[in-house]
Amino acid sequence: MVSLKQLVKNPLKAFGTKAEKSFQPEVFDSHVMTTYGRFPLALTRGAGCRVWDDQANEYLDFVAGIATCTLGHAHPVMVEAVTQQIQKLHHVSNLYYIPEQGALAQWLTEHSCTDRVFFCNSGAEANEAAIKLARKYAHTQLDIAEPVIITANASFHGRTLATITATGQPKYQKNFSPLVPGFHYVQFNDIEALESAIASLNAEGPRVAAILLEALQGEGGVNPGNVQYFQRVRELCDQHKILLIIDEVQVGMGRTGKLWGYEHLGIEPDVITVAKGLGGGVPIGAMLCKASCDVLQPGDHASTYGGNPFVCGVALAVCQTVESEQLMANANARGQQLRQGLLKLVDTYPNLFEQVRGWGLINGFVLKPDAPLKSLDILKAATNQGLLLVPAGPNVVRFVPPLIVSSAEVNEALEKLSKALATIS
């Protein structure tokens, strides 16, 4: 039997001679659907903020599973939580009470402005749940026959049919029509556009059921929300009895230096969606809502795997570690350090970069529109220097390392990036 210690140390060797053979991308591609544009790397092991490929090359990981590996790789707390929970009980149906689910829900509501939680498996599913909640709320509480949800251009809310419709980026919707009706898009951080949309949609009676926004747009280019904008959004929602849904899938769980992105904006949403960092890499999502809009009843919504003992036990350990190890303070400090380093590179390469934006440990290095390079060019050069980064569109390089990243590792990342830029500038 393969021990956990063996697996963490060497995942290929642990499974015997067959797994020790060199990884063959062509075999992989012949069996796995090509729904991803993959980099030519086969990652096989991780520890902290570092990962290794099948050729034993080491990389500093500033992708973290795209803002997912909150505690990095093979963190002792997660190893212990996984081991204990899998030995006790890993899955039962939601037809029964699940103590681990209740404990996680209690932690989340006690650390947010919400009262109730629905658990699922991903951010897209969390947003699906929020969309269903908003529609039922509109039908049962506002007597709206055909409710509309307003979202923002350049947003990203998931890959299901409803959530790509909610996503205000046509490139994700191409060839998947007919899309789900009931969505309207406005410019992010533009309050006049939002007020105009509400007035137009409600001209002949209430139609707007909810406004769904990210506190900071991640996939849309790392665009932080404007405080005055969101405070006015909250006022409009109160005035028109509209639900305010904040998508915290990428920025929640401490990544911004606060537990929730909405805390930067001086507001309280009615509904929060979260996933990614919640489980530190185990698949879990959640929709949190205030009791005043909790209209879902037995039979309205469900998820076979959602909130099972395994994922909830691990996610609770992640949440408690974020709090006990003061990782939000670390996200603030390391994020400030990273932004200062990136701003120096803006000065060094004024023909390439125009700004740095972000909160905590989600930061965007923004290329000029007419720059001779694109984000993928920089990612490839950085990978060659042993630094993994992720794009946020063609003109933004995104930095989302684990929240445990150290000062020395931030400096190392900046040094590797500087070398990468020197090779291609």
User: Catalytic positions, please?
Assistant: 156, 247, 276
Q: Which residue do the tokens 């926004």 mark?
A: 213
CB count in 10 Å sphere of residue 53: 15
Backbone angles phi, psi at 114, to 5 degrees: -105, 175
* Helix orientation angle between 309-324 and 99-110, rounded to the nearest 10 degrees: 30
For 412, the token pair is 């190392």
Rounded-to-10 torsion of CA 151, 153, 157, 162 = 60
d(CA 394, CA 400): 17
What single-letter amino acid sits at 388? L
- Using DSSP's 3-state secondary structure scheme, residue 79 falls into helix
Whether the ω angle into residue 11 lies within 30 degrees of 0, i.e. cis, is: no
Nearest alpha carbon to residue 407 among 331, 318, 325 = 331
d(CA 129, CA 288): 10
212: which strand partners?
245
What single-letter amino acid sits at 391? P
| DSSP E strands, 4-65 | 43-47, 50-53, 58-61
For 83, the token pair is 């081991």
- Using DSSP's 3-state secondary structure scheme, residue 40 falls into coil
357: which strand partners?
364
Pairing, β 390-391 against β 183-186: unpaired
105: which strand partners?
none
